[in-house]
Amino acid sequence: MNVHESEKLAGILEDKGYVLSEKLEDADVVVFNTCCIRESAETHAYGNIGALKKLKKAKKSLIVAVGGCMTEQVGAKEKLKNTFPFVDIIFGANNPNEFKFLLENKLKLVHDEKDDRESFVRTSFPNAWINIVYGCNNFCSYCIVPYVKGRERSRSENAIMQEVDTVINQGYKEITLLGQNVNSYGKDTGTSFCELLEKICTTYKDSKFRLRFMSNHPKDITEELIKVIAKYPNIICPYIHFPLQSGSTDILRKMNRKYTKENYLDKIDLIRKYIPDCSISTDIIVGFPGETDFDYQETIDVVNKVKFSGAFTFVYSKRSGTVAAEMDNQISKEVKKQRITNLVALQNSITKESTKIYLGKEVEILVEGYDEKRNLYLGRDVYNRMGYFPCEEDLIGQFVTIKVDRVNGVSLFGELIRR
Ligand code: SAH
Ligand code: SF4
């Protein structure tokens, strides 16, 4: 999502005639698109902004802009202004047009357009990201997103379909629909996520492309949605990002996630009933306030039972303004560290096991890049596995088949056998 937000900022700059500069020293405008979901992201941003002071001193015409969700926290804009007086533009997270407006003011230009269409430079061919719903209404107790991104707002189906049409005509081969909770799409505009998926799949049934979406909220994923995914196996990838956060029902309640360990496992069974080969990835937080050894073992139990294809694992980070930040029994750094280390080791061993199954198999890959270090092309299969292969020709944007002869961790290596 952040990469896509940056594409929008880049699009605004490109409309103004700017081009991407290879070196920081050559830039006329530097834009920081920040994230405040965890403290470490914020610390990085502060460090990187501070590092620009010297450059700005040497090059007075340089425009430095800081935006994104970090600036939306209470008092953050003032704090940024005081800490970095050399920053020219501070803009929010929810409206790239604010950046455009402030930039134009800075450049003394006029501004008069604003609509549901979005302009941007896509940097990720052949993968296109499309926002379908902004903001979040869920208020998970640890999470700052609803405070900095505001309430849920669905984009109009027309605007989304137009964007889908554009990227398909431009030859993009994979579309990822984005939302903090895609399952909420359309609740405010009288339509639904299932209807949107059906519409895309029926309109473009004769095009060869892949459709993905993220994130799903376990409380909102329905049998109807799983059936829609199963109904279009040639378009919708058998891959669901399904954030667990914790395996302990008690912690889930304190997180305000609105499901239990059992509900979660039941939904996993439902997914596998309709889509037996479905690859399921997840997000997990360890060290939430009050998390006991028992609670942590409940998470480990779910990880062992589900066998996720991949997991983004996080140490709980206290975000001021959220409900959890005020909770008693914050967990010590040592305990958090031990829990995350064990969890990562367990998930790595599960991933490694599941990778072995690929040996000797033929896999269809959408080629999306070239790895300079390995001298190999790379791309993902429908399950989101990364595959590498040697080739003399530029095949980026094409579907090819490789035969896997070696695996390493999450990665597959093979020879090109068909294209
Ligand atoms: N809307 C998405 C998540 C967006 S944030 C969803 O609900 O799935 C991405 C991930 O960051 C979350 O799933 C969570 O695992 C993690 N995260 C959010 N707030 C956090 C915090 N305060 N500390 C640690 N991890 C956090
Ligand atoms: Fe944050 Fe929960 Fe909303 Fe995801 S669903 S963005 S974790 S509040």
pLDDT at residue 117 tops 80:
no
- pLDDT tens by residue, 234-269: 999 999 999 999 999 999 999 999 999 999 999 999
User: What atom of ligand 2 comes closest to residue 143's alpha carbon?
Assistant: 1
User: What atom of ligand 1 comes closest to residue 284's alpha carbon?
Assistant: 15
Q: Return the closest-CA partner of residue 216 out of 189, 247, 194.
A: 194
Is any atom of ligand 1 closer than 6 Å to the C-beta of 143?
Answer: yes
Q: Which of 38, 254, 283, 308 to mutate to test the pocket of ligand 1 (most atoms within 8 A of CB)?
A: 283
What is the spatial distance between Cα 193 and Cα 178, in angstroms, rounded to a whole number?
A: 11
- pLDDT tens by residue, 329-355: 999 999 999 999 999 999 999 999 999
**What residue ranges do the domains of the chain occupy?**
2-106, 124-237, 272-357, 359-418
User: What atom of ligand 1 comes closest to residue 1's alpha carbon?
Assistant: 4
Tell me what pLDDT residue 119 has: 67
Do domains 2-106 and 124-237 share one topology? The answer is no
Which CATH architecture does the domain made up of 124-237 adopt? 2-Layer Sandwich (3.30)
CATH topology for 359-418 is OB fold (Dihydrolipoamide Acetyltransferase, E2P) (2.40.50)
User: What atom of ligand 1 comes closest to residue 142's alpha carbon?
Assistant: 22
- pLDDT tens by residue, 19-58: 999 899 999 999 999 999 999 999 999 999 999 999 999 9
Is any atom of ligand 1 closer than 6 Å to the C-beta of 180?
Answer: yes
How many angstroms separate the alpha carbon of residue 37 from the centre of ligand 1? 7
Is any atom of ligand 2 closer than 6 Å to the C-beta of 257?
Answer: no
Q: Which of 3, 37, 302 to mutate to test the pocket of ligand 1 (most atoms within 8 A of CB)?
A: 37
CATH for 2-106 is 3.40.50.12160
Q: What is the mean pLDDT of the chain?
A: 94
pTM for the structure as a whole: 0.89
CATH topology for 272-357 is Transcription Regulator spoIIAA (3.30.750)
Nearest ligand to the CA atom of 287: 1
How many angstroms separate the alpha carbon of residue 177 from the centre of ligand 2? 17
How many angstroms separate the alpha carbon of residue 50 from the centre of ligand 2? 30
Tell me what pLDDT residue 116 has: 58
Ligand 2, atom 2, residue with closest C-alpha = 140
How many angstroms separate the alpha carbon of residue 301 from the centre of ligand 1? 20
